[in-house]
Amino acid sequence: MKRIVVLGGGISGYGSAILAKKQGFDVFLTDAGRIADRFKSKLEEWGVPYEEGGHTMERVLAATEVVKSPGIPDKAPVVQALREKNIPIISEMEFACRYMGHSKTICITGSNGKTTTTSLIYKIMCDAGMNVALGGNIGESFAYSVATGEYDWYVLELSSFQLDGMFRFKADVSVLMNITPDHLDRYDYCFQNYVDSKMRITQNQNSRNHFVYCADDEVVWREVEQMTSNVRQLPFMAKTSVASAAGDAFLDGEGIFTARVGDRSLEIDTAKMQIKGLHNSYNAMAAALATLAAGVDAESIERSIYEFSPVEHRLEPVREVEGVLYINDSKATNVDSVWYALESMTRPVVWIAGGTDKGNDYSPLKEFARKKVKALICMGLDNEKLVRDFTDIVPTVVSTSSLDEAMRAAVAAAERGDVVLLSPACASFDLFKNYENRGQLFKEWVKSNI
């Protein structure tokens, strides 16, 4: 009997273990840390053996195949030991796709915008009455959905870490939002390694599949030019014009975009959308092309795009107090995300940034910071780099080491007509559990203390 070992007991791991159990495999789940009670109860309900607080290497190295959760780096000792034994290591996505039957997938990746785009695509599909599940980085575990339900479509947000463990998987519709430096600590600080990882979204696609991508992104465009696949290309753009035989989407100077796939098309007035800014125009264009390719009616797509509200922790308005608007953009964990956030600001900005720096180059932000930011509040245990890079750019730079200290400094700096923007450009792990925890605490502070 095939022995499946699942590394990691989070949402990806518990779903993979349950799917392996349903398929009749000898399965064992192991986690170096603590497994959440809700996942343990599911594992016990399905009779899946598991351990937490460390790995029993005898059992791990007895695996026929290992399903690794995306948060576990390749440098982890348990992964290195498996590599030495040449035991195959795959991701939840690769494992689950083997058992999804005739279902189809829309897969979304990118350094920025993928959560909003994935959520919008899922809403469009649901509103159109399609039998669809949401998974990957958001929603339910893809593997758990495959194990417990029967869906016609899966909408999956994929990180580079998930793509790294995918080999035979093929997306029916792939969406690549952009590629900017991120997570370079996981890619030997080599940007091309990260680029190659993102481009795996197109692997195995053929002439029956669609590839939606941003033609304004120079890195993406360079990679597309080198592609040999005959996948149907669906570019979207605002700054350039790149017509494709399969279709495209283009944003004109008046804020109107047209999306076309084959002989079907739609038109969106971005001023009427609830999600604002150039980055959200890109997100909507990508969603429109992907869902047109999936066969959704154009009028239904238009209706859903106009109804769609901002995603939590991504340019999320929290509250306006005495003329000062507080915005939670905690999901902006890299420089490119903050670029789009600052680009969309129309009021003087008190900018809260900082956290665990992932090798950031802040130079792309300096022009917007000079024009739009009146005060930078650095929030982290090590603010030296932020302070150094913006001291001569922003009139006021304040270093703080806690959320409370940062918020009090932001409130003191803000005046009527300003916006206080939490857009960190960094990971959250120095002071918070994750970006969601950071954003939630920001919102709670605003609602309780102002």
Beta strands in 314-360 (DSSP E): 316-321, 324-328, 349-353
List the one residue out of 183, 209, 5 whose CA is nearest residue 89. 5
Q: Is 183 a catalytic residue?
A: yes
Alpha carbons 62 and 69: distance in angstroms, whole number: 18
Catalytic entry in 21, 68, 137, 279 = 137
- Using DSSP's 3-state secondary structure scheme, residue 153 falls into strand
Residues 6+ apart with CB under 8 A from 354: 378, 379, 380, 383, 386, 424, 425, 426
Catalytic entry in 40, 55, 68, 114 = 114
Alpha carbons 144 and 141: distance in angstroms, whole number: 5
Residues forming a β-bridge with 173: 106, 210
Cβ atoms within 10 Å of 244's Cβ, excluding its own = 18
| CA-angle at 280, arms to 110 and 171, nearest 5° | 35
Q: Is 114 a catalytic residue?
A: yes
- Using DSSP's 3-state secondary structure scheme, residue 312 falls into coil
Largest interatomic CA distance in the chain: 68
Q: Do residues 41 and 68 touch, judged by C-beta distance below 8 A?
A: no
Q: Is 137 a catalytic residue?
A: yes
- DSSP assignment letter at 82: H
Cβ atoms within 10 Å of 259's Cβ, excluding its own = 30
What phi, psi does 247 have (nearest 5°)? 140, 175
Distance of CA 37 to the CA centre of its chain: 26
- The first and second tokens of residue 14, run together, are 């518990």
Alpha carbons 214 and 226: distance in angstroms, whole number: 15
How many CA atoms, within 13 angstroms, populate the side-chain half-sphere of residue 219? 17
- Rg of the chain over Cα atoms, rounded to whole angstroms, equals 22
- Which H helix or E strand runs over 136? strand 132-136
Annotated catalytic sites, by residue? 114, 137, 183
